[in-house]
Structure 1
Amino acid sequence: MIKREKMQILSKTVIALDTIKMVFHNESISKYAIPGQFLHIQVENHTLRRPISIANCDQDTGTITILFKINGDGTKRLAAYEPGDLVDTLGPLGNGFPIDTDTPSTILLVGGGIGVPPLYYLGKTLKEKGATIISILGFQQKEHVFYEQEFSNLGELYIVTDDGSYGHKGVVTDVLSKVSTYDSYYSCGPLPMLKALTAKLEGKKGYISLEERMGCGIGACFACVLPTKDGNSYKKICKDGPVFASEEVQI
């Protein structure tokens, strides 16, 4: 159920270098949003909305949490909003992560940078349904690391940094050998990371969530399309995704 809402900011926190956590109050979106979906947020003096993944929802309190990195004028302006301000939002948008609730299983979550947030809501939801969670999270440097405790609460956790300033040195695929068994994987992060990961895990059941600049956010403008692996059609990231089966699209 997509709605246009004025959401009130309840809190704003800097949780890592240039990384902001915002908590909104909105009972309708918090009720219907599923892991992997996103909000399309209108920022003052910008024509196009900003797509930002949902990092958590709480139906009991009617709250939605987003995490975003300041990487341009739009996110800089969004970061300047304060608690009490109202934000014009469309959501929840997109297709989220498929969740198998029939058989408890072991799930591998692999996130990179600002691709980490939607995996937290996913991991929390899966754990509540009986799954065992293993997470591998990659960041540039120590000062970029966030949500370490939150993911530790879900299960086994590996932190990787490019320069080795925290956790393991390298990239997320360097740590895959430390994970012995799992039934399926879910991943979100930069495109090079997703390409390397899907190549490494070819043949394994998995799902990837793509980060992409968007126009309309609802599938009308064809600004965020990519080809399917069979080459016969295209998928719209905003509407058909942002989550796809790992063997579904060319990345």
Structure 2
Amino acid sequence: MISKQRMKIVSTNQIAKDTIEMVLKNSYISENAIPGQFIHILVEGHTLRRPISIADVDKDNETVTILFKKLGSGTEKLSESKAGDFLNVLGPSGNGFETSTEGLHTVLLIGGGIGVPPMYYLGKSLAKQNIHVISVLGFQSKDHVFYEEKFQQFSKTYVVTNDGSYGDKGFVTSVIPNVGEFDRYYSCGPLPMLKAITNELSEKEGFISLEERMGCGVGACFACVVPTNTEKGYKKICSDGPVFAAREVIL
């Protein structure tokens, strides 16, 4: 259930170009968050909250880790927050990933840019259930790469950069043919990337998380909708998603 919470900032660090890692403390959200959900953060001086994916959860220490890029005035302002500050947050929000493991042996995670963080918490969760995990992480360049070593702790990890300055050169779809067999895929990233992946893996079971600007974040304003193949037609990314079955949405 979504709840308004105060989250104390434990730490904040820049871990790659324009990329901030922030650890937040809150017992309710850390206890209830599942992979694929997000928190909706109120930023001082801005009317609309900022949706930020949950990258990790530590239930023992009651912390939640988020990662975000400084892409505008809202995230720039958020990045100026310090340890000890408190954030006004709605969460955990949205529907997360399908993590039932019956019949699963190997899964493929595909993250692009700031779509990488939700893949981390998902991958850790699946690995704890003895699922074999393969990860493909796409970034613009070497300066933007983060969490490679963290993913390597539980998965076979491939890194690809657009300019070839680190790892393989190209896009995540360039690497997918080389990863071997898998039973299901999960992905989060820019819309063009998701379109390419769902087209290439149309015969595979998959789940995708959509990145989208939001209004209310609770499904009341219809600012974030996506066309689907269902009888409902359109669904709301903030409340019906952000995770959808790959074959359910029309990208």
TM-score by length of 1: 0.98
Structure 2 counterpart SS, 1:34: coil
Match of 2:13 in 1: 13
Q: Deviations over 1:93-129 (max 9, x none)?
A: 0000010133452010000000000000000000001
Amino acid at match of 2:218: I
Structure 2 counterpart SS, 1:124: helix
Amino acid at match of 2:206: G
| Residue-pair matches, total | 251
Q: Does the 8 Å CA contact 1:104/1:130 hold for their aligned counterparts?
A: no
CA RMSD of aligned residues (A): 1.0
Give the drift of 1:229. Answer: 2.8
Give the whole-Å Cα distance in 2 for the aligned partners of 1:179 and 1:69: 28
Q: Does the 8 Å CA contact 1:11/1:83 hold for their aligned counterparts?
A: yes
Aligned pairs (5 A) from 1:143-222: 143-222=143-222
Give the whole-Å Cα distance in 1 for the aligned partners of 2:44 and 2:67: 19
Q: Indicate the percent of aligned positions where both proteins have the same amino acid.
A: 60
Give the drift of 1:179. Answer: 1.3
Q: Does the 8 Å CA contact 2:104/2:183 hold for their aligned counterparts?
A: no
Match of 2:102 in 1: 102
Q: Deviations over 1:19-55 (max 9, x none)?
A: 0000011011000000000000000000000000000
Q: Does the 8 Å CA contact 1:104/1:129 hold for their aligned counterparts?
A: no
Give the whole-Å Cα distance in 1 for the aligned partners of 2:29 and 2:77: 23
Q: Deviations over 1:139-168 (max 9, x none)?
A: 000000000100111110100000000000
Match of 2:140 in 1: 140
Structure 1 residue 248 corresponds to structure 2 residue 248: yes
Match of 1:81 in 2: 81
Amino acid at match of 1:108: L
Q: Which runs of 4+ in 1 moved over 4 A?
A: none
Alpha carbons of structure 1 residues 103 and 141: separation in structure 2 relative to 1, 3 Å: same
Give the drift of 1:3. Answer: 1.1
Give the drift of 1:180. Answer: 1.4
Give the drift of 1:231. Answer: 7.3
Give the whole-Å Cα distance in 2 for the aligned partners of 1:152 and 1:44: 37
Unaligned runs of 5+ in 1: none
Give the drift of 1:177. Answer: 1.2
TM-score by length of 2: 0.98
Match of 1:48 in 2: 48
